[in-house]
């Protein structure tokens, strides 16, 4: 992210300096317009990449930590041998039944679970 922020600052500065270069007649009008569009496009791409990385960083910061909400909730049930109503209401969003002996469980905290599976290299269920 630091590299992208540095690039963003550099391209923003270059774009800002373009008009002065054009006014000094060091660039033609077409070169000025082309460069302005080129820098603008690069700035937009960098901003998008930064936003995506910042979102991923927040997700990882919230998920890959001992204070993870899902882990905290799940720890409450580590000593249980049987499924309880409290466990079901806390951990499961819904269960869909599609046929004889066919069902799909949709978990609460599924995003955290998927991120943790990716981090550990395990396949999510």
Burial class (CB within 10 angstroms; exposed 0-12, middle 13-18, buried 19+) of 102: exposed
CA-CA-CA-CA torsion sign (38, 42, 43, 45): positive
Its pTM stands at: 0.50
pLDDT of residue 61: 65
Give per-residue pLDDT as tens, 10-23: 999 999 999 899 99
Asked if 75 and 61 count as a contact pair (C-beta separation under 8 A), the reply is no
């Amino acid at each position: 992210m630091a590299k992208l922020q540095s690039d963003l600052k550099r391209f923003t500065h270059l774009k800002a300096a373009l008009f002065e270069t054009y006014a000094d007649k060091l660039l033609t009008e077409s070169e000025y317009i082309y460069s302005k569009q080129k820098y603008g496009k690069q700035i937009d791409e960098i901003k998008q990449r930064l936003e995506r990385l910042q979102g991923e960083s927040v997700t990882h910061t919230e998920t890959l930590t001992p204070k993870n909400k899902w882990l905290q909730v799940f720890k409450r049930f580590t000593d249980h041998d049987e499924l309880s109503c409290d466990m079901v209401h806390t951990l499961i969003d819904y269960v869909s039944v599609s046929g004889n002996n066919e069902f799909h469980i949709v978990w609460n905290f599924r995003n955290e679970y998927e991120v943790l599976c990716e981090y550990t290299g395990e396949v999510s269920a």
